[in-house]
Amino acid sequence: MSNEQLSSGVQDLVDRLREKGIEEGRHQAEEITNNAKKEAHDIISAAKQEAEQIISLARHEKEQLEKAGRDAMNLAARDAILELKETLSHQFSEQVHGLVSHHLRDEDLLQRVILEIAGKARPTQTTGAFELLLPDDVVGLKELRLHPENVQEGTLSHFVLSVSAEMLREGVTIGSHTGDGIRIRLIEEDIEIDLSTQAITKLFLEHLLPRFRALLEGSIK
């Protein structure tokens, strides 16, 4: 083999090796590129999925916070309405109590009540003797008994003085108590009928307060 042929063979070998290396390098580059693209796609997909989860969680938390806020506001509004109704009911009860107390200190009203009791609540064989108890601060029975000459005509004390003798003949005695209103005591049966402010107010409120609260339910919701 001549030198020229040897040189040509070497050159062919070098060329083939170069082409093979270039081809392998191209394949490796394509493989690396494809792998890189796949990894990038996987990373992007994972990041997108994680972002969607974060957004979904944030949206859920926002909805929960909004619901909690609405619930808190509804609860606060309900408590405020209940408190308002309770306050108004208490004020109504106090007004009724005040009106009853005012009227039970009215001497004209007390005179009419005394006459009514004197006319209808007479002792019988069944009930026995009565004692009519009047408010001491209005009538002043102690002062009335000690100084009847000082009683002014037209006052409740004068009225009691004028009817007490007749009532005593009917078996009804007159006494006093430290509260307000009138009380009727059945002596033999140890029973007392309470016509005080507290008792009458309680009786009125048993009928009036439910109606007042029903009106509140219709106007305050």
SS3 of 14-66: HHHHHHHHHHHHHHHHHHHHHHHHHHHHHHHHHHHHHHHHHHHHHHHHHHHHH
The whole-number average pLDDT for the span 135-152 is: 60
The listed range with the strongest mean pLDDT (12-21, 27-36, 67-76, 106-115) is: 67-76
Q: Say yes or no to pLDDT of 93 above 90.
A: yes
Q: Say yes or no to pLDDT of 91 above 90.
A: yes
pLDDT at 206: 92
The whole-number average pLDDT for the span 8-20 is: 64
pLDDT at 95: 93
The whole-number average pLDDT for the span 39-68 is: 87
pLDDT at 127: 55
Q: What is the pLDDT of residues 153-199, one digit of tens each?
A: 656 666 666 666 666 666 677 777 777 778 877 777 777 788 888 89
Picking from 211, 216, 209, 146, the residue whose alpha carbon sits closest to that of residue 176 is 146
The whole-number average pLDDT for the span 130-153 is: 64
Output 60 or 109, whichever has higher pLDDT. Answer: 60
Output 113 or 57, whichever has higher pLDDT. Answer: 57
As a whole number, the mean pLDDT across the chain is: 76
Output 69 or 157, whichever has higher pLDDT. Answer: 69
Tokens of 46: 């994972």
Q: Say yes or no to pLDDT of 28 above 90.
A: no
The whole-number average pLDDT for the span 205-218 is: 87
pLDDT at 24: 72
**pLDDT-based confidence at residue 213 (cuts at 50, 70, 90):** confident
Output 177 or 90, whichever has higher pLDDT. Answer: 90
Report DSSP state, residue 179: S
The whole-number average pLDDT for the span 18-42 is: 76
Helices 107-120 and 3-104 cross at an angle (nearest 10°) of 70
Cα–Cα distance for residue pair 133/195, rounded to 1 Å: 10
Sheet with 182-186: list strands edge to edge: 172-177, 130-135, 182-186, 191-195
| Structural domain spans, the chain | 1-104, 106-189
Picking from 155, 202, 195, 152, the residue whose alpha carbon sits closest to that of residue 177 is 195
